[in-house]
Amino acid sequence: MSTIEDARAPGEGARRRPPEPLVPEGERRVSANVCQAAGCLSMQSDLVLGALRDRVEAAGLSDVAVRRVGCLGLCAAGPLVEVPELGRLFDHVQPDDGAALDSLVTTLSGGEPGGQAMAKEPFFSHQVKVVLERCGQVDPERVEDYLDAGGYEALTKTVTTMSPEEVIAEVVRSGLRGRGGAGYPTGLKWTTVAKATSHDGKFVVCNADEGDPGAFMDRSVLESCPQQVLEGMAIAGYAVGAQHGYVYVRAEYPLAVKRLNSAIRQAERSGFLGKQIAGTDFEFHVEVRIGAGAFVCGEETALLASIQGGRGTPRPRPPYPAASGLWGRPTLINNVETYANVPPVVMRGGEWYGSIGTGKSKGTKVFALAGAVVNTGLIEVPMGLSLRQIVFDIGGGLVGGKKFKAVQTGGPSGGCLPEELLDMPIDYESLAQAGSHMGSGGMIVMDESTCMVDVAKYFMDFCREESCGKCLPCRAGTVQMYGLLDKITRGRGTRHDLDTLQSLAEMVRTTSLCGLGQGAPNPVFSTLRYFRDEYLAHIDDHTCPAGACRLDGGER
């Protein structure tokens, strides 16, 4: 075996330096916002930024800014460039596409505006932006931009004019619920942590592990407007009496980590993190902790174990982290999006926030729309919108006009919702009743070519690989369920296998230690509930109606 001394970090030096944005010296008349978040970057939007910058400079447009911004939402059509002052959007802009760049320069110099009029696009017009208000509008790497957009006003207001009780009361009034999956009332959680006594401090933790496959909301928020999350955490720290915060980000998101780190440094420099925040005695420090590739670390007790340098295995609750979390101290854990909702709640009031959404599900929800839908991307909608509006109006329907089959929400512990539920309003209760759940907000649209048994098998494969292995039902049960599903997709399953699968799923759901095992059977339950026919077709007729499974025993 070779030793560590011979090796170099893989892929070193392969990345190019990102081009710098162009800031006009005087007043800026118009700007070109070039998306520099992961989606567009994967389509070389960094080169677009450079090319556009060169052209604007060459054209001598001294009152035009070429800006680096975060996610503009319509990732499917990237690279995207927006001219916000004129409400125009340019899609599919390639760095070597002279015509598109010319049209942009013409637009910017006051000529005939090119691109699309955003107001007319249903993708944008159905959305309500609270969390994403500043995403795509500010440069994620410049705190000045965030400040210009009203950033840190909420934190200043909090620490200079409000008592911790008043802050919590505002959050309670908003009706905000956790966006990380379970939908636990945020105000209630804050109250518990605030009431917990501790002689040596409390902690605020931001869960940015975002492990659900098919979810990229938190990533986009962190890449597009990390300051808003930090501001929410600082407000939470003030409210619950904590001076230290951690953001736990998964290792798969290097750009988010980079922008978060730079945001922390800039916020410290501007006096919004660190000591004497906004000139008061309140201090709050934030550190980033990077995950190392384990889905289960999104579970709160596993996440805490991981921050403390251990194996990310969950532990039984109680005690809840609110009572005994990091190093045994009271700890508040919320999701990225939950924190990002806090500054608007504080600024505009809980009542305003509560006026958006439905009875028990207030406010907006960010979804990552992906799969067989035309407009894949990042959207924010008021709770209570129907699935149909999301998939067909905002999402623009299915790619290639194919037939809709299901939409999967809630990640590996969620479910697949069929066509007859398209008019269901999206909120915590409706989704749970339908056998799925909100999850963190991944929404994957599937067309008729996707086999539902195969989807159930896919998620079970995920769970068996991500099971931490501590508790028996999840560790061995997911492997056995996978085996049964695999057998069925190969056309070798029997009706008896189906019964065994169902009873095993019941047992794993009821007896597993943490949410991973408890949720792992959900894709099986939901597909059995709505697509039982497909299971039976594999078993009785040895066919896969979607034509996705190979029933001759070969691997897909």
Partner 1 sequence: MSDEVRTLVIDGRDVAGASGQSILSVAEESGVFIPALCHLAGLSEVGSCRLCMVEVEGTARLVASCVTAVEEGMKVTTTSERLLAYRRRAIELLFMERNHVCSVCVADNHCELQELAKTLGVTHFELPPLHPACDVDATHERFVLDHNRCILCARCVRVCDEIEGAHTWDIRGRGTGARLISDLGKPWGESTTCTSCGKCVQVCPTGALYEKGRSVAEGKRHRPYVPFLVATNALGTGRQL
Partner 2 sequence: MVATPARTLSPPSDDKRWRQVEVRMRRLGHRPDGLIEVLHTVQELFGFLDDSALAFVSQSLSVPPSKVYGVATFYSHFMLKPQGEHTCVVCTGTACYINGAGALLAKLKERLGLEAGGTTADGKLSLLQARCLGACSMAPAVVVDGEVHGRVTPSSIAVLVEAL
| Cα 350 to Cα 348: distance, rounded to the nearest angstrom | 7
* Closer residue to ligand SF4, CB minimum distance, 206 or 468: 468
| Cα 268 to Cα 249: distance, rounded to the nearest angstrom | 20
| Cα 265 to Cα 399: distance, rounded to the nearest angstrom | 43
* 190 token code pair: 């804050």
* Closer residue to ligand SF4, CB minimum distance, 98 or 469: 469
* Closer residue to ligand SF4, CB minimum distance, 116 or 313: 313
Please tell me what DSSP assigns to residue 299.
S
* 455 token code pair: 């989807």
Q: State which of residues 181, 241, 245, 473 lies at the interface with ligand FMN (CB under 6 A).
A: 181
Binding to partner 2 by residue 309, rule CB under 8 A?
Answer: yes
Smallest distance, partner 2 to C-beta of residue 348, A? 30
* Closer residue to partner 2, CB minimum distance, 8 or 199: 8
CB 86: neighbour CB atoms within 10 A? 17
Burial of 6 from C-beta contacts in 10 A (0-12 / 13-18 / 19+): exposed
| DSSP collapsed to 3 states, 23-57 | CCCCCCCEEEEEECCHHHHCCCHHHHHHHHHHHHH
Binding to ligand FMN by residue 184, rule CB under 6 A?
Answer: yes
What order do you get walking across the sheet with 331-335 strand by strand? Answer: 285-290, 244-249, 203-208, 331-335
Q: State which of residues 110, 111, 150, 293 lies at the interface with partner 2 (CB under 8 A).
A: 293
Binding to partner 1 by residue 523, rule CB under 8 A?
Answer: no
Binding to partner 1 by residue 500, rule CB under 8 A?
Answer: yes
Binding to ligand SF4 by residue 469, rule CB under 6 A?
Answer: yes
Instruction: Pick out residues in 257-296 that bind ligand SF4 (CB under 6 A).
Output: 296
Q: Give alpha helix (H) positions in 175-253.
A: 186-195, 217-224, 226-240
Smallest distance, ligand SF4 to C-beta of residue 411, A? 14
Binding to partner 1 by residue 269, rule CB under 8 A?
Answer: no
Question: For residues 390 and 367, is the Cβ–Cβ distance under 8 A?
Answer: yes
Instruction: Pick out residues in 278-317 that bind ligand FMN (CB under 6 A).
Output: 296, 298-300
Total residues interacting with ligand SF4, rule: CB under 6 A: 15
Q: State which of residues 477, 491, 493, 523 lies at the interface with partner 1 (CB under 8 A).
A: 477
Binding to partner 1 by residue 512, rule CB under 8 A?
Answer: yes
Q: State which of residues 105, 230, 340, 468 lies at the interface with partner 1 (CB under 8 A).
A: 468
Side-chain-side CA neighbours of 553 within 13 Å: the count stands at: 1
Binding to ligand FMN by residue 442, rule CB under 6 A?
Answer: no
Beta bridge partners of 65: 31
Q: State which of residues 64, 65, 171, 294 lies at the interface with partner 1 (CB under 8 A).
A: 294
Question: Which H helix or E strand runs over 404?
Answer: strand 404-409
Beta bridge partners of 335: 207
Instruction: Pick out residues in 315-374 that bind ligand FMN (CB under 6 A).
Output: 333-335, 338
Instruction: Write phi, then psi, for 215 (nearest 5 degrees).
Output: -120, 130
Side-chain-side CA neighbours of 9 within 13 Å: the count stands at: 3
* 274 token code pair: 């660190």
Q: State which of residues 226, 237, 312, 344 lies at the interface with partner 2 (CB under 8 A).
A: 312
* Closer residue to ligand SF4, CB minimum distance, 468 or 488: 468
* Closer residue to partner 1, CB minimum distance, 79 or 435: 435
| Cα 73 to Cα 123: distance, rounded to the nearest angstrom | 9
Classified as helix, coil or strand, 87 is coil
Instruction: Write phi, then psi, for 130 (nearest 5 degrees).
Output: -115, -60
| Cα 143 to Cα 135: distance, rounded to the nearest angstrom | 13
Residue 298: which of ligand SF4, ligand FMN, partner 2, none does it interact with, CB under 5 to 8 A by kind? ligand FMN
Q: State which of residues 35, 294, 390, 407 lies at the interface with partner 2 (CB under 8 A).
A: 294
| Cα 246 to Cα 288: distance, rounded to the nearest angstrom | 6
Instruction: Pick out residues in 479-518 that bind ligand SF4 (CB under 6 A).
Output: 512-514, 516-517
Instruction: Pick out residues in 422-481 that bind partner 2 (CB under 8 A).
Output: 442, 444, 446, 450, 455, 458-459, 462, 465-466, 468
Q: State which of residues 19, 39, 343, 415 lies at the interface with partner 2 (CB under 8 A).
A: 39
Q: State which of residues 102, 503, 542, 543 lies at the interface with partner 1 (CB under 8 A).
A: 503
Question: For residues 117 and 103, is the Cβ–Cβ distance under 8 A?
Answer: no
Classified as helix, coil or strand, 373 is strand
* Closer residue to partner 2, CB minimum distance, 120 or 556: 556
Smallest distance, partner 1 to C-beta of residue 510, A? 6
Q: State which of residues 196, 474, 501, 539 lies at the interface with ligand SF4 (CB under 6 A).
A: 474
CB 451: neighbour CB atoms within 10 A? 25
> What does R_g of the chain's alpha carbons equal in angstroms?
24
Residue 7: which of partner 1, ligand FMN, partner 2, none does it interact with, CB under 5 to 8 A by kind? partner 2
Classified as helix, coil or strand, 286 is strand
| Cα 99 to Cα 520: distance, rounded to the nearest angstrom | 50
Binding to partner 2 by residue 8, rule CB under 8 A?
Answer: yes
Total residues interacting with ligand FMN, rule: CB under 6 A: 22
Binding to ligand SF4 by residue 477, rule CB under 6 A?
Answer: no
Stretch that binds partner 1, among 141-149, 213-221, 311-319, 396-404 (CB under 8 A): 311-319
CB 319: neighbour CB atoms within 10 A? 13
Site string for ligand FMN, 190-209 (x = CB under 6 A): -----------------x-x
Residue with tokens 């066919």: 543
Smallest distance, partner 2 to C-beta of residue 391, A? 14
Residues forming contacts to partner 1 in the complex (CB under 8 A) are: 294, 296, 311, 315-316, 464-473, 475-480, 483, 500, 503-504, 507, 510-513
Chain residues that interact with ligand SF4, rule: CB under 6 A: 296, 313-314, 467-471, 474-475, 512-514, 516-517
In the complex, which residues of this chain contact ligand FMN (CB under 6 A)? 178-182, 184, 207, 209-211, 296, 298-300, 333-335, 338, 440, 514-516
